[in-house]
Structure 1
Amino acid sequence: MRILFLGDLVGRSGRNAVIEALPQLRTRYAADFVVVNGENSAGGFGISEQIFLDLLDAGADVVTTGNHVWDQGETLVFIERHDRLLRPINFPQGTPGRGAGLYKAANGADVLVVNAQGRVFMADIDDPFRAVDRELDLCGLKRGADAILIDFHAEATSEKEALAHFVDGRASCLIGTHTHVPTADEQILNGGTAYISDAGMCGDFDSVLGMDKEEPLQRFLTKIPTGRFVPALGEATICGVAVEVDDDTGLARAIAPIRLGGRLSQTEPAFWLPDAQPGT
């Protein structure tokens, strides 16, 4: 089974790049299931219902979010209408929406997607370890789900690594989001769970984390806000991760980064390319 995950979409540049490229990417990679983190897709802050629907139309199966999920006020209302839009599972009880769901992949497999948010250097919300643990107990690997993907939206790499080891052998992959910088630590843990600290962002990297450089620079230099953060509008790099899942075990066989377009070095998962040889 082939799972494609695309990191945080930032503003118009990132979302347009993904909406335009995703249909072709899904075909090129023969992806069975696609997850996109869309929490910064609406002007860099939150997500609108139309953007969410556009991502589904482009080929996303599920859209995850994070700490900016409520930055567009309308999301508090429309999230209740869409079970394929997730917010962090460890938000307090009574928060609108849902933090996990079981979805059908193109190959007929049942995929559990869990969206969680960290607490280190972030809001002091409910414990993500116990929240994820409860979800895996309810719908375990090969006990309700053929594959399990966890989007852990967190600041600290230590917290991301710790949660990955906590679920190792119980999830197909744990993919970090939030920091917007793609990391080079993609690996398969001892128990068979694929891991990367951060998938990176889909946005303009001639920026400060996807934002136009002027306002962040002014705040670092003077500590005085002079305006709003606005997304940079240059050519986007599409950043993400490819995960190959063993159909028999639900654990990972391979993981590789994806970087397409824009300023960063380009890379695709060799094991998914049309001319790939067996074992590559």
Structure 2
Amino acid sequence: MKVLFIGDIVGKVGRNATKALLPAIIDRYKINFVIANGENAAGGFGLTEKTVSEILLSGVHIITTGNHVWDKKEFIPKISKQDRVIRPVNYPPGVPGYGSIIYTLPNEQKVAVINISGRVFMSNIDCPFRTGKAEVERLKASTNIIIIDFHAEATSEKIAFGYFMDGKVSAVIGTHTHVQTADEKILPNGTAYITDVGMTGPVNSVIGIEIKQIIDKFLTNMPMRFETAKGEGCFSAVVFEIDEHTGKSIAIQRLQLKYP
């Protein structure tokens, strides 16, 4: 089976790029399953019910998130009612929402997706390695196809996590930095890996935000409101192929397309 993982969708530009480009990509690469990180979809910060619906209607099956999942306060009580949106599994017990999901495709193939957050330079939540291993072992009873969105800042933590999960899961796809890395590979024991899949959002920006606002912040260190940039967009993603019998990946390819 072929899976498309779309990098962090940022604001209206990212949503529009996804809507416009996704159908042709699905057709060209014969995609069976689509995952997108959507934690920046609503104005660059968080999600709303409207943006979730928009992304799902574009052809995405599962939306993952990260540290910005709680930015829109009105969405917090609603996330537990979303059966296709997940948040990091290593938040403490009692946090709304779900950290993983099993999705059944039309051919009855079950695909598990886990959302995990790193801790280096980020919130000091539960250990992603120990929590992730336990969640993988739980899901293995239902399917051997398991895909992880590892939402983390430090490349060292991401690389270490990839090797830690090698052979245990089908893919470890890094998100969060909005900058696509050129290290996509199949790890020795059959796990597809990339340190960061990149951003689907405005090209002429600082990781999705208006350039002047970010420069002013660096120059003055004063509080200011950030807004997503407009204009030309990019669509960043990876396509990887999984052997349905073994759950191991056999190929991975980076994508980066311009929009419009």
Query: Structure 2-normalised TM-score?
Result: 0.97
Q: Which amino acid aligns with 1:89?
A: V
Aligned residues, how many? 260
- Tell me, in whole angstroms, the C-alpha distance in 1 between the residues paired with 2:169 and 2:107: 19
Is 2:13 the partner of 1:13?
Answer: yes
- 2:219 corresponds to which of 217, 221, 227: 221
- SS of match in other structure, 2:93: coil
The residue that corresponds to 2:184 in the other structure is 186
- Whether the 8 Å contact between 2:42 and 2:48 is mirrored in structure 1 is yes
- SS of match in other structure, 1:261: strand
- Per the TM alignment, residue 126 of structure 1 is displaced from its structure 2 partner at its CA by 0.7
- Whether the 8 Å contact between 1:32 and 1:107 is mirrored in structure 2 is no
- Whether the 8 Å contact between 2:17 and 2:259 is mirrored in structure 1 is no
Q: Indicate the percent of aligned positions where both proteins have the same amino acid.
A: 48
- 2:236 corresponds to which of 234, 239, 253: 239
- 2:258 corresponds to which of 258, 261, 269: 261
- 2:151 corresponds to which of 150, 153, 159: 153
**Cα gap change, 1:122 to 1:157, in 2 (>3 Å):** same
Q: Deviations over 1:191-236 (max 9, x none)?
A: 11010000000011211011000111011112123x3110011111
- SS of match in other structure, 1:19: helix
- Per the TM alignment, residue 106 of structure 1 is displaced from its structure 2 partner at its CA by 4.2
The residue that corresponds to 1:137 in the other structure is 137
- Tell me, in whole angstroms, the C-alpha distance in 1 between the residues paired with 2:120 and 2:231: 32
Where does structure 1 differ by over 2 angstroms across 4 or more consecutive aligned residues?
A: 105-108
- Tell me, in whole angstroms, the C-alpha distance in 2 between the residues paired with 1:180 and 1:22: 19
RMSD value over aligned CA atoms?
Answer: 1.3
Query: Structure 1-normalised TM-score?
Result: 0.90
Q: Which amino acid aligns with 2:199?
A: M
Q: Which amino acid aligns with 1:3?
A: V
Alignment of 1:80-159 (within 5 A): 80-140=80-140, 143-159=141-157
Q: Deviations over 1:11-54 (max 9, x none)?
A: 11011111222223222222111000000000000011111111
- Tell me, in whole angstroms, the C-alpha distance in 1 between the residues paired with 2:235 and 2:196: 13
- Whether the 8 Å contact between 1:109 and 1:146 is mirrored in structure 2 is no
- Tell me, in whole angstroms, the C-alpha distance in 2 between the residues paired with 1:235 and 1:134: 42
- Tell me, in whole angstroms, the C-alpha distance in 2 between the residues paired with 1:59 and 1:130: 33
Give unpaired runs (5+ residues) of structure 1.
264-280
- Per the TM alignment, residue 262 of structure 1 is displaced from its structure 2 partner at its CA by 4.8
- SS of match in other structure, 2:202: coil
Is 2:54 the partner of 1:64?
Answer: no
The residue that corresponds to 1:79 in the other structure is 79
Give unpaired runs (5+ residues) of structure 2.
none
- Tell me, in whole angstroms, the C-alpha distance in 1 between the residues paired with 2:186 and 2:107: 23
- Tell me, in whole angstroms, the C-alpha distance in 2 between the residues paired with 1:159 and 1:83: 29
The residue that corresponds to 1:274 in the other structure is none
- Tell me, in whole angstroms, the C-alpha distance in 1 between the residues paired with 2:144 and 2:128: 22
The residue that corresponds to 1:173 in the other structure is 171
- SS of match in other structure, 1:199: coil
Q: Which amino acid aligns with 1:41?
A: A
- Whether the 8 Å contact between 2:6 and 2:37 is mirrored in structure 1 is yes
- Tell me, in whole angstroms, the C-alpha distance in 1 between the residues paired with 2:125 and 2:19: 32
The residue that corresponds to 1:205 in the other structure is 203
